[in-house]
Amino acid sequence: MDHKPMRNTYLPYGRQWIDNDDIEAVVNVLKSDYLTTGPAVSKFEQEIANYVGAKYAVSFSNGTAALHGACFAAGISIGDEVITTPITFAASANCVLYLGGKPIFVDIDPKTYNINPKEIEKQITNKTKAIIPVDFTGQPVDLEEIYAIAKKYGLVVIEDAAHALGAKYKGKKVGSISDMTMFSFHPVKHITSGEGGMITTNNKEYYEKMLQFRSHGITRDPNKMIENHGPWYYEMQFLGFNYRLTDIQAALGTSQLKKIDQFIELRKKYAEMYNAAFATIPQITIPYQHAEAESSWHLYIIRLNQDLLKAKRKEIVEHLLSMNIGVNVHYIPVYLLPYYQQLGFQKGLCPQAEALYEEIITLPLFPKMSELDVSDVIQAVKKIVSYYSI
């Protein structure tokens, strides 16, 4: 088969959608009194809290900082163990390391690709403090099963919903259920603020801890201070960070949030086009859909299920890239990354995750793509699957 690009332009796997109203929102902030954390930040937090149906939301400079803040609020410290999945971005586990804790990787369910709740309990020790489940690709984890375990052992659940803004679990929006839920506003995610992150929670104590954590551990609230020297006085009460979002970013985020339903509708429509096209191809496994959950479709991942194709995954990816189809692979199991290997994590730890990693391909999926783009991807994948199957 020739390696001619089937498109003149490269189709990425994901990208933002910025309109003039988004640009205007940012320009308005640039003309205002506040550039750093001001009224636009509070507004963005309120809008996200309203959208997901949570009492509180705290913004951070990015999703990783938000996870760091949530782990701090949960009281994770040196020697504590926190359970998470290997099929995620490194940040879901790094946030535990930042506080001197130890990430414990629990294997995935080969059907859902999310952490396997049945495997979690086996890994719980007297050092376990929290679970960080990840709604991989936008498909919510089974929160009911995870909460049954968390309640039994007194664990905090910090849901990594970087992929799942707008997703629903049993009729409730993701972000309204867990002790704390993290969203990211990196440009490939559902909405963007450039860089940005948010934790939603219904817990006032966590909320106040995170507000202080993202600003050096400093408080100016007279009710919380030990001393008070006068109107200039503030207290740094623990070691925090400068993890604040700017008003410039927040205004972009608020403007983008107005379009979230439309963005998700388009993602869903394209995912359904992929599903319909690939469901009849026996060499491809299409994504699982939980009967009582609604994915917000951050990623569309196909899994090769034929030995011949699995062995050629790298060539297939390279071939699709040469055709200008911007495929990708999500994710390298976190503990296989060199830094985690240095920490002593061994290959073979989570066999289902390692098998998945060898067999998956992420296809382009973002609201700004067109139905024609989707057709190009379908055509390219079909061609390649039949070519490499022989």
Binding site residues, ligand PLP, CB under 6 A? 62-64, 88-89, 91-92, 134, 160, 162-163, 184, 186, 197
> What b-and-e string marks burial along 12-32, b requiring 16 or more CB atoms within 10 Å of the CB?
ebbbbbeeeebeebbeebeee
Cα atoms in the 13 Å half-sphere on the side-chain side of 67: 26
Instruction: Name the minimum Å distance from CB 305 to ligand PLP.
Output: 25
Calpha distance 154→149 (Å, rounded): 8
Residue with the closest Cβ to ligand PLP? 63
Sequence length of the chain is 390
Instruction: Name the minimum Å distance from CB 185 to ligand PLP.
Output: 7
- Residue nearer to ligand PLP on the CB measure, 163 or 319: 163
First to last CA, the chain: 12
- Residue 370 CB partners (closer than 8 Å, separation 6+): none
The residue whose two tokens read 């954590």 is 213
- Residue nearer to ligand PLP on the CB measure, 104 or 323: 104
303's enclosing H/E stretch is strand 300-304
What the block records as the tokens of 234 is: 């503030």
Instruction: Name the minimum Å distance from CB 221 to ligand PLP.
Output: 28
Calpha distance 387→381 (Å, rounded): 10
Backbone angles phi, psi at 137, to 5 degrees: 70, -5
- Residue nearer to ligand PLP on the CB measure, 181 or 352: 181
- Residue nearer to ligand PLP on the CB measure, 73 or 316: 73
What the block records as the tokens of 50 is: 């309203």
Instruction: Name the minimum Å distance from CB 187 to ligand PLP.
Output: 9
Instruction: Name the minimum Å distance from CB 124 to ligand PLP.
Output: 23
Instruction: Name the minimum Å distance from CB 213 to ligand PLP.
Output: 16
Instruction: Name the minimum Å distance from CB 13 to ligand PLP.
Output: 13
- Residue 202 CB partners (closer than 8 Å, separation 6+): 54, 55, 56, 176
Q: Evaluate the omega torsion of the peptide bond into residue 331 and state whether it is cis, within 30 degrees of 0.
A: yes
Specify whether 189 is catalytic. Answer: yes
What the block records as the tokens of 172 is: 């409730």
> What b-and-e string marks burial along 137-170, b requiring 16 or more CB atoms within 10 Å of the CB?
bbbbbbbeebbebbeeeebbbbbbbbbbbbbbbe
- Residue nearer to ligand PLP on the CB measure, 56 or 89: 89
Distances (CA, A) of 151 to 81, 178, 179: 16, 12, 11
- Residue nearer to ligand PLP on the CB measure, 186 or 312: 186
Which of 173, 189, 209, 312 is labelled catalytic?
A: 189
Residue 60 sits at the vertex; the CA angle it makes with 368 and 39, to the nearest 5 degrees, is: 90
Any idea which residues carry the catalytic annotation?
189
